[in-house]
Structure 1
Amino acid sequence: MMAMVQKILFYLQYPFVRYALIVGVLIALSSSLLGVTLVLKRYSYIGDGLSHVAFGAMSIATVLKLSNQMVLILPVTIVCAVLLLRTGQNSKIKGDAAIAMLSVGALAFGYLVMNVFSTSANLSGDVCSTLFGSTSILTLTSREVQLCAALSFLVVCLFIVYYQKIFAVTFDENFARASGTDAGRYNLLIAITVAVIIVLAMNLVGSLLISALVIFPALSAMRLFHNFKSVTVCSALLSVTCALLGILASILAGTPVGSTIVAADAIAFGLCSLIAAVQRRKTA
């Protein structure tokens, strides 16, 4: 045990490890806040759909050789997030169908673009690292960390400031509209915030694993608590803890960062489910 602690302290001397931990914690915190809302609104799969959109946008940005890919990826993902929420309210195309169409279409288009136009000598490696996460989280620059910190701070502030409105729209959108709340405006806010989180999380866990980062902590917290505020706080604590443990474990064991974090989230979900089952037996 002491040897493991000493090894962690040794790695913490390097700036890139500290950068990875800071970004991992910030992304985990941001994603967990809206995860509860997405689960309750039956939009759990929206993270997966938007992550595939971000992958398609990233493919185009790579082909265009943009020095700052965020300039293209972030606006495209935000526009698609808004379209998804609005299309999901259309009786002709239900929310799950719209997400499935956009998800599969963007993934296929992105891979096609990379195959046709890419000049990379290791195309399969580039695609795999983008979909499942890569070591890019360990090669972050101070500027990228500052950008992530600023966007994460913005997400947290928006959630805190509009907490009551988000709560109202999450539980009963029709009642919120009847009481004078502009539900469309706050749904738009949720869509934009989710898009920002998805783009931030791509370097951490990869396109295919982002949904787990958003949904697992919320589902775990719901096993233990039944109050919206308590679930949100518990979800944030679980997400940050799993991100920290996942990054440290991946550094020590040499495993992929994204997969290790998601594995930690899955283990936490199993433990929370077990605790909930024991509590039900005691009260039965």
Structure 2
Amino acid sequence: MKMFSYPFMQRALIAGTLVSLCCALLGVSLVLKRYSMIGDGLSHVSFGALAVAVALGFTPLYFSIPVVILAAFLLLRMASRPHWNNDAAIAVMSASALSIGILVISLTTGMTTDVDNYMFGSVLAMTKGDVALSAAVSIAVLALFVLFYHKLFAVTFDESFSRATGLKVERYNTLLSILTALTIVLGMRMMGAMLISSLIIFPALTAMRLFKSFRGVVICAGVSSVVCFCAGLTASFVLAAPVGASVVVTDLAVFLCACLLQTLRRR
């Protein structure tokens, strides 16, 4: 309980739990729609945006958010073109943004504290504003799944049929992209650009090993993501290890246990 006596750990616990929950819920739809690497691509875009923000003297967080949202829109449009596919669109944008960020850093301020925190993550970087924004995003994500569960289910599994029934598929895809972009920017403060995509991928894959229904996968992903984050945060405090790496290793351990349990069930 000693770690909760520190204000920065309290902020990290609250914001990290909310961001982990958002990543897990959004990750289920993204993984099923074969957009699992969008988190990695958007995190690199955010890194490029924050490098430009630091060089120009802007606030990195508020400069990155509109840039990453715009990138999410562009990824959605590129992936819908016949001569593009999801992986190619994400790879092109990811590599381009990362290259621009590195070039800007090398020509201007160098690796400052702000850039370093976004690149590798730091619990000390979490502010009260991050906690408030995390709470707002988590409320929006939960509202999306509670109010539009059946429509989200239809869009996730069969866009063509959903479009034929009159469902506004583009509207829900756009909403998913915006919420994912906001979650990625917030999560980078703690997990870093290199590891934030793991919060989207691991909980969804773990839940899919244990449950078959969409509802079961969504609930399991949310619970496992929050539990793994809390366990990883505690381990990082006890072992004086990086938070991002501790959380990812915890997610990996739970995923391997789920794979083992799935194998035993089949036998």
C-alpha displacement of 1:11? 2.0
In structure 2, the partner of 1:5 is none
| Cα offset, 1:147, TM superposition | 2.2
Count residues with an aligned counterpart: 267
Distance 1:169 1:274 in 2: 31
Q: 1:228/1:209 Cα in 2 relative to 1: closer, same or farther (>3 Å)? A: same
1:45 equivalent in alignment to 2:44: no
2:168 maps to what in 1?
A: 182
Pair 1:19-2:11 in alignment: yes
Residue 237 of structure 2 is matched in structure 1 by: 251
Instruction: Give 1:256 shift.
Output: 0.4
Deviation at 1:93, TM superposition (A): 1.9
Provide the rounded CA distance (Å) in 2 between the counterparts of 1:107 and 1:167: 33
TM-score, length of structure 2 as denominator length: 0.96
Conservation of the 8 A alpha-carbon contact between 2:50 and 2:115: no
- The one-letter amino acid of 1:132's match is F
2:261 equivalent to 1:269: no
Match of 1:156 in 2: 142
Structure 2 counterparts to residues 43-122 of structure 1, below 5 A:
43-66=35-58, 68-118=59-109, 120=110
Measured on the aligned residues, the alpha-carbon RMSD in Å equals: 1.5
Unaligned runs of 5+ in 1: 1-8
- What secondary structure, in the 3-state scheme, does the structure 2 residue paired with 1:91 have? coil
Please point out which of 210, 214, 220 is paired with 1:228: 214
Q: Which amino acid aligns with 2:27?
A: G
Of 113, 123, 133, which residue of structure 2 is paired with 1:147? 133
- For the 8 Å contact 1:19–1:138, the answer to whether it is kept is no
Distance 1:124 1:274, change over 3 A: farther
* SS in structure 1 at match of 2:81: coil
- Looking at structure 1, the residues matched to 230 and 126 of structure 2 have their Cα atoms a distance apart, in angstroms, of 16
Measure the CA separation in 2 of the matches of 1:230 and 1:165.
17
Aligned residue identity for 1:64: L
**Larger of the two Rg values belongs to structure:** 1
AA paired with 1:162?
A: F
Does the 8 Å CA contact 2:117/2:189 hold for their aligned counterparts?
Answer: no
Residues 124, 145 of structure 1: alpha-carbon distance in 2 compared, 3 angstrom cutoff: closer
Q: Aligned in 2, Cα 1:15/1:272: closer, same or farther, shift over 3 Å?
A: same
- The reply on whether 1:34 has 2:26 as its aligned counterpart is yes
